[in-house]
Amino acid sequence: MAITRRPLLTATAAGTLLCALWFVPSANAGDAAPGTAGHSAAATGPESDTGSLADTGTGIDTTPYLIGGMAFLGIGAGFVTYSGRRGGPQPAV
């Protein structure tokens, strides 16, 4: 019977991985179009190099990350509980 469950478990693991990757943020630091630099190499003066990080804006919406994280945490806890109950008591050796 364990052989019949392998495709289901594989599909579940693949789907879980794809759902987890959905919540990985992109590497874009700002709203600049691709191929354009935020600072010009020819710029000089006190404004050219401030030594600070890129401005990512204010009010970053983290709600999808929180909801996704809590959902996967709940699913993982459910799998652990199911596995524990399914295994039952182990015989003494």
The model's pTM is: 0.34
Residue 57 lies in a domain: no
Angle of CA points 38, 44, 48, to nearest 5°: 40
Q: Identify the residue with better confidence: 36 or 73.
A: 73
Half-sphere exposure of 11 (CA within 13 A, CB side): 5
The model's pLDDT over 15-40, given as tens digits with 9 standing for 90+, comes to: 999 888 887 777 665 555 555 555 55
Count how many domains the chain has: 1
**Which of the pair, 61 or 64, is modelled with greater confidence?**
64
Range of the domain at 77: 7-20+66-86
In a domain, 55, yes or no: no
Average pLDDT score over the chain: 73
Question: Would 11 be classed as within a structural domain?
Answer: yes
The pLDDT of residue 74 is 95
